[in-house]
Amino acid sequence: MPWADSLLEIWGEPLFVQPVYSGGAVMGWLALRLPSVPLPHSEEAFAAMFCDLAGSAFYREKRVSMMAEANRMLDEAAKGVVGILGHALAMKDPYTVGHQINVANLAQAMAKRGGYDETFQETVYYAGLVHDLGKITIPSSILSKPGILSEIEFSIIRNHALYGWEILSSADLPWPLADIVIQHHEHIDGSGYPFGLKGDAICREARFLSVADVVEAISSDRPYRPGLGIGKALGEIRENRGSWYDPEASDLCMEVIGDGFAFDTENYKLFIQ
């Protein structure tokens, strides 16, 4: 211990030196300059207790750091899973993936505008990225049909929220995406689907997605019609604010768009080769 020789030169003898162990390894040393020797047993016991506590603190800090790194890796893995699911849908229906990206961005902007914390913002964003994932089970002939859907075809489309829940509920993710996805077509007056939930029975994240989803769908091009424009989309929200759509989410959406938010049309080209 070269540092001990330096201490002896500065302090002289006698010295009391004791290692600080943490996790079986020496993490530091306690060095005391003594007025006399030997050190009383009570003080020696106190010094040993101090070293034990210091070692425990070092070990706890190390464990916290390791847990933080493990959580970061799990979080990145979860985001990777969401990305994989999005790419899987892109192979079936690139249009829907572009729609999902736009909805995710709008829902996140609404949450940020409303002062919601980063966890909520992240949750609505990743829920938006996969909210139509269940459409991967819908025949392409229905998804890409240029004309108006028949009643049977529309009933098949409506099942996509259930199919999305089935897919997402099998994955262990840090966000309740399955529950949000299955509720994003519910209306606060109970007229939505698949369960006819009302008011607060619909999770707040799904209420945000419901508004973002409708605004993006109306304003953008669809396989069966050209986009109707943001004015028409906001008119739909104003007309059904408080009946179909959550008032807070509706107001935040209109404020965000009023502040200049615009959908990125390039998102529809990301997965088209």
The reply to whether 135 belongs to the active site is yes
pLDDT for 201 beyond 50: yes
Q: For residues 268 and 220, which has the higher predicted lDDT (pLDDT)?
A: 220
Q: According to the model, what pLDDT value does residue 272 have? A: 44
Q: What mean pLDDT is predicted for residues 36-50?
A: 74
Both tokens of 76, joined, read: 């990145």
CB atoms closer than 10 angstroms to residue 162: 16
Q: According to the model, what pLDDT value does residue 47 have? A: 79
- The string of pLDDT tens digits covering residues 169-199 is 988 888 899 999 999 999 999 999 999 999 9
- The string of pLDDT tens digits covering residues 49-100 is 887 887 777 777 666 666 666 556 656 666 776 777 777 787 777 778 889 9
Q: According to the model, what pLDDT value does residue 126 have? A: 92
Q: According to the model, what pLDDT value does residue 241 have? A: 97
Can you tell me whether residue 203 is helix, strand or coil? Answer: coil
Q: Which residues are within 8 A (CB) of 249 and not within 5 positions of it... i.e. 6 or more apart?
A: 110, 207, 208, 210, 211
Q: According to the model, what pLDDT value does residue 54 have? A: 79
Helix axes 204-219, 247-258, angle to 10 degrees: 50
pTM of the full structure: 0.72
* Closest by CA position to 267, among listed 90, 23, 51, 99: 99
The active-site residue, picked from 112, 135, 145, 198, is 135
Residue 128 contacts residue 104 (beta carbons within 8 Å): yes
- The string of pLDDT tens digits covering residues 105-160 is 999 999 999 999 999 999 999 999 999 999 988 888 888 777 778 889 988 988 99
Q: According to the model, what pLDDT value does residue 159 have? A: 93
Q: Which domains does the chain have, with CATH numbers?
A: 2-64 (no CATH), 93-269 (1.10.3210.10)
Distance separating alpha carbons of residues 4 and 130, to the nearest angstrom: 61
CB atoms closer than 10 angstroms to residue 172: 9
Q: According to the model, what pLDDT value does residue 10 have? A: 63
